């Protein structure tokens, strides 16, 4: 591999930036890549091999005593998924 080292990042926005700068290819959740795909900044590679994910769940105690911040997070979370 000509002395290159493999790097791993769990930062989706950093990975999107690396793809936009033509430094790498990566798998990203569609919600992260949607704007860049729509604008043509990046292109989808191998769509027939797309990865499907299990549903996401948000667990929290009863609404009583939940902070405004947690309510807002829950609202945004459910709206965008």
Q: Say how far apart CA 66 and CA 48 lie, in whole Å.
A: 42
Q: What is the pTM of this model?
A: 0.53
Query: What pLDDT does 51 receive?
Result: 75
Burial grade of 33 (CB within 10 A; 0-12, 13-18, 19 or more): buried
Query: What pLDDT does 39 receive?
Result: 96
Query: Splitting the chain (81 residues) into consecutive groups of 10 residues, what average pLDDT does each group show?
Result: 60 90 88 92 88 75 77 82 64
Which residue is it, tokens 């990203």? 28
């Amino acid at each position: 591999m000509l002395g290159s080292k493999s790097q791993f990042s769990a930062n989706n926005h950093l990975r999107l930036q690396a793809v936009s700068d033509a430094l790498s290819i990566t798998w990203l959740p569609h919600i992260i890549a949607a704007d860049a795909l729509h604008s043509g900044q990046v292109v989808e590679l191998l769509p027939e091999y797309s990865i499907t994910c299990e549903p996401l769940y948000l667990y929290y105690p009863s609404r009583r005593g939940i902070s405004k911040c947690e309510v807002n997070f829950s609202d945004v979370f459910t709206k965008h998924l």
